[in-house]
Amino acid sequence: MAQQLGLVVHPTRSLDTVLESTAAWAHAHGANVGQVRIPGLTRQVADPVDPADCEILLSLGGDGTALHALRAGAPAKRPVLGIACGSVGVLTSVTGDHVAWALDQFAEGRWRARAVPGLAIASSDGPVEVVINDMTLIRDGPGQVVIAITVDDVLYVRVAGDGVVVATALGSSAYSMAAGGPILAPGVEGMVVTPLAPHGGSAPPLVTGRSSTLRLEVEKTYSRVRYDVDGRSMPRPGDVLTLHYEPEYAVLVELSDQDSRLAGLRQRGLVRDGPRVLVRDRRVE
C-alpha cells in the first residue's frame, strides 16, 4: 500500500474535486499526501515532498503535467499515475472522477510499470537535457533555417525550411505526427526525425535504431532558431547537438485494464477511419 503520494498539479485547472478524492483515499488508507514542486510552477496545494520519498507520483492535469511528473520521478525511478483533469491524453490512465479507483488498483498491485524512453541531448559543452516526447528546432523569425541531419556519422540530408522535430515513439503521435511523421507503434524503439516544411529537395521522415547517434547541425543563416523540448523553450545550447535513445528513462503506471496507446489515439480522434469506410458502416447500420 502506498504510504506517501506525491502530487504534480496543473497550474490553472480546477482540481478541487480530484484533490478531495485523493485526500479522502489517503486518509482511509493511512497514506500521506505531499506536492512535488516543479520549477516555474507556483501553484501550491500541499506541503513539499521529495519524489524519491514517494511510492507513486500522481499527475493531475493533462499530458503536459504528466511530462513534468515523469521528469521529476525519473532520477529515483518513481512510477507516475496520470489523472486526466479537463482533457484526455496518451499519458493519462483515468479521468479525475476515478482517482480513488485507480489508487485502489495501484495499492492492490493491479498495474504494471511501463518504461518510458527518453532522448538524451548533448552539445559540445556536455549534456543538455533528457526529453520524453520530442525536441524541436524551429525558425524564430523570417527566413529559413538549414539543418544537417547525420545518423551514425553518415549524412542523411540537409534541409532548408522551418526546422526539424526529433521524437520518441511516445512523442511520435504529437508534433511529429502533426508535421506528417509516422507513428511508432508500441514496441518500436528508436527516434523519428521529421523535417518541418522543407523547401525543395527530398527529406522523408526518418526512423533510427535504438543504438544510433543522431547529430543535428544548424548552419549559420539570417534566421534565428528556437529550441523547444517537451513543449517548452530552452536557452540555445549550441549549433551542433547529438541525441541518444535512453530506453528506460522514466516509469508510467499502466493499469491492468487500460486501453493501449493506439486505441487511445482512436478514442481521442487523432486517428480516424476513412470517409468511405464510415459511410459504408452507416449504411450497414
Query: From CA 243, how far away is CA 203, in angstroms rounded?
Result: 19
Output the tens digit of pLDDT for each of the chain's 285 residues: 458 999 999 999 999 999 999 999 999 999 999 999 998 888 999 999 999 999 999 999 998 999 999 999 999 999 999 999 877 678 888 888 999 999 999 999 999 999 999 999 999 889 999 999 999 999 998 889 999 999 999 999 999 999 999 999 999 999 999 999 999 998 899 999 999 999 989 999 999 999 999 999 999 877 789 999 998 899 988 899 999 999 999 999 999 877 777 877 887 778 888 999 989 988 887
Q: Which residue has the cell 526518418?
A: 206
In the block, residue with C-alpha cell 514517494: 54
pTM over 0.85: yes
Q: Is the Cβ–Cβ distance between 181 and 192 less than 8 Å? A: yes
- Residue 228, strand partner residues: 136, 233
Please answer whether residues 168 and 191 qualify as being in contact, where contact means their C-beta atoms are separated by less than 8 angstroms.
yes
CB crowding 76-110: b at 16 or more within 10 Å, else e? eebbbbbbbbeeebbbbbbebebbbebbebbbeee
The letter for the amino acid at 86 is: G
| Catalytic residue positions, numbered | 63
Domains along the chain?
4-109 (3.40.50.10330), 117-248 (2.60.200.30)
Q: Strand, coil or helix: what is 120?
A: strand
